[in-house]
Structure 1
Amino acid sequence: MAAMRPIQFDPFGEPVALDADQPRSSTASRIALRSGVGLFWAMVVVIVAARAAYFDPDFAEKFGSVASLIGHLKTVVGA
Structure 2
Amino acid sequence: MSPPAFDPFGELVPTAEPAVAPDRGPNWLKSAGIGLFWGLVGIIVLARAMYFEPGAFSFANAMAWAQGLFALL
Normalising TM by the smaller chain, what interval? 0.3 to 0.5
Q: Normalized against structure 2, the TM-score is what?
A: 0.40
